[in-house]
Structure 1
Amino acid sequence: MAASSSSSQVRFIEKALLATGSFALSYTDPDQKWLIRKHLTSLLQDYPNFELSTDIFNHNNGAKVQLFCLEGSLGIRNSTTQLPAVQLTIWIHENYPLTPPLVFINPNSIPIRTNHPFVNSSGFTNSRYIETWEHPRCNLLDFIRNLKKVLANDHPFLHTESIPTRNQSVSRTEALDRLATSLHYDVLTIMERSEEEIENLWKLQSEVKQRSESVKTIINELEMERETLKVRALNLKDDSDVLATWVETNYDTLMKATSMDMGIEEMFEIEPEVEGLAGDDAIEDVLRVLEEAAERGELEIALYLKQVRVLAREQFFIRHYRLKLEFPYLSML
C-alpha cells in the first residue's frame, strides 16, 4: 500500500496501523503505534516529497515483518555547494522507537564511494546518531536532519570536506560526527601506511634471505677451498719430506757439485730425481683436474677412466724410477 498527499498520508498511517489479517503491520503495542503515527506525521510535514508505504522487510536472520517504508530524495548542500541529492529508503523497525530505523541509500547510476565512514557498499547507513540511538532522546525527524549534515560533510557519491567557518556554529552532535569522520579516514591512512610498511618489510625479508643464501654459498665454497688447501699443504709437506730425505741421502754429491769438483755430467745426475718428482706432482694435478671435471659432468666416465689408466701407468713408472734412484739396491732385487 502507498500514500501520496499529506492529508491522505495521515489517513493512510491510521488505516495501516489499524489493519488486521494479512495487511496487519508488525507493530503491536498501542503506545508504540501512537508514537509511530506522531513521528511519521512530523517527518512528512518537513519532507513532503517522501512517499509512505507498507511492505514486507526481510531481516538477515530470515524473519519477515510488515513495516512502514519511506522513500524519497534528500537534498544535500554544504556551506558552499549544492551536492547531488540522495535517494533514501527508510524502514520503520518493528521495535521502533526503541530500535532505530533501517536506512538505505539507493546509489542509482552513481556508485557509493568505497570506505565511506557511515555508508557501506550496499547502501546501508549507520551513522553515529543510529549507533547512539536512545528513546526518547532520538526520533525519526531529528535523525533525517542529522543525516543531511553528515552527508553534507562527507557525501556518499563525491569526496567532499565541509569545513565550518569561524562564524558558523556547529552543534555537539555535528562536531562528534565530523570527529568520527576524521578519525575514520585517519585510521584508513594509517592502515594503508602500515600495509605499505609491511610490504616493504616482506621485500626486505626476502632480500635478506637471498643474501643469507649467498653468504652460506660463499661460506661453503670457502670451506671447500680450505679443505683443498689443507690437502695441498699435506701434499707439499710430503713432497718436502721426500726432498729432505733425498738431500740428506745425496748431501755429499751436492757438496761436490758446489765445490766444482764434480763434472758437468755428474751434476746432471741430480736432474732425473728432480724431474721425476716434478712429473709425479704434475700427474697428480692432472688427475685432480680430471676428477673435478668428471664430477661436474664435463667429462665422460669412459674417457675419464681411459685417461686415468694412462696417467696412472706413467706415474707408476716415474715412481718406480725414483725409488731406483733413491735406493739403488732395489734394482738388484
Structure 2
Amino acid sequence: MIDLAKLKKRVEKFYKNSEATYRDARNALCHYQNLAPQQENYTFTNGSVKELINLAGTIPVTYKGNTYNIPICIWLLDTHPNNAPICYVKPTSHMLVKASKFVDQNGRIYLPYLEDWKPYKSDLLELIQVLIVTFGETPPVYSKPKSDSYSFPSSTHVPTSSGVALYPTKTTNYPPGEALPKHPIFPPNSPAIYPNYPQYPGPSIPSYPPTGNFGLTIPSAGTGTIKDEHIKVSLISGIEEKLLRKMKEQVQQKQAELQTLTRTQEELKHGKMKLDLMINKLEKEQSDLDKSITVLKDTEQELKTAIGKMENQEAINVDDAVTTTAPLYKQLLNTYAEEAALEDAIYYMGEALRCGIIDLDVFLKQVRTLSRKQFMLRALMQKCRQKAGLAI
C-alpha cells in the first residue's frame, strides 16, 4: 500500500506548489495502483542533476483484445503543475523499445497532450488515460528476439518482427515481436510479454524450403507463387483486421473520454452539493439577521415614544412618586426612612467628634438620644412587618 503521508512530506520538501502536486499525484496513484512514487536524481540534457519524484510502474493497455502491462516512468518537475512532466517507457530485460512518432529510441514519450500542457487544468490522470489510448494503437515495446528455433500451432497466424506472415506447423514457443494470445493482466513486478505492432503481408511472399520448420500454405506444392484470388483474400483479411483494430481503438478512446467526463460530472455534483449547503446557511443567517434588525427597530421606536412622553410630562415630586396601597405599609415606609436618617446622623456626629468640631460630652449626649429614637423605630418597624405578614 502506498504511504500517502510519506509522499506528502516528500512533495512539501522538494516542490513549490506542494498542495496541487500532492493532490494530482494522489489521484493518479489511487486510480492506477500498479504505479508507485519514488524519489531519485534526474539528469537533464544540460548535465544538471536534481532530486525529483517519479511515478514508476505499469499501466494496463488493451491491444487486439488482450490486456498488457506497459512499464512507464513519469517524472514530476519541481514546478509541477505549471510545467508538463517528463515521461519514459521503461522496458524490462525481456523487452525492446519500439520507436514511433510518440516514443524515441531512448524511451522518451512525446505527446500533444504534453506539448499543450495547461497548468492547473491538465493532470496526471488524464495524461495516463491518453497514454493508454495511444499505446493501444501503437505499442511502445516488444519482446526481445531469441536465438532458439520456434515452431507454432498450424491454426495460428503469427507475424514476425520483420512483418512476414508465417503459418507454422508445430507448437513450442512464440517468435520475437509478438505477444501471447489471451495473455492475462500481469502483476506489477512480473515481466510481461508485450505485443509488437503487426505488419501485414504485401502482394508477394517469399518462399521457404519445404524441409524447414516454417512453410507457406500454397495451393500447389513445388511452386513459389500465389494466385490473384489468394492475394485478394489476403488483402481483404488484412483490411478487415485493420478496420476492426481502428474500431476498437476508437471505442477505447471514447471510453477513456467518457471516464474523464464521468469523473468531471461527479466532481461537479459534489461541488453543487457544497454550494447548496453554503447557500442554505447564508439564507438562514440572512433570515436571523432580518429578524434581529426588526426587533431592534421596534425597541428603538418604543424608546423614542417613552422619551417623548417623559419630555412632555411635568416634574414629579419624589415623595409623591412613592405611594403605598395601605396605611400599614405607609407607616412601615416612613419608619424605615426615619431610622435610616438617624443612622446617617450618628455617622456624621462621629465624624464631627473626630474632626474636633464638637467635644466628647456633646457627642455622647446626642448619640444617646439618637440611639434611643433609633431603637424605638426599629421596634416599631419589626411590629409593622409582623402585622403585615412580611418576613422579619
TM-score normalised by structure 1 residue count: 0.43
Structure with greater helix share of residues? 1
TM-score normalised by structure 2 residue count: 0.37
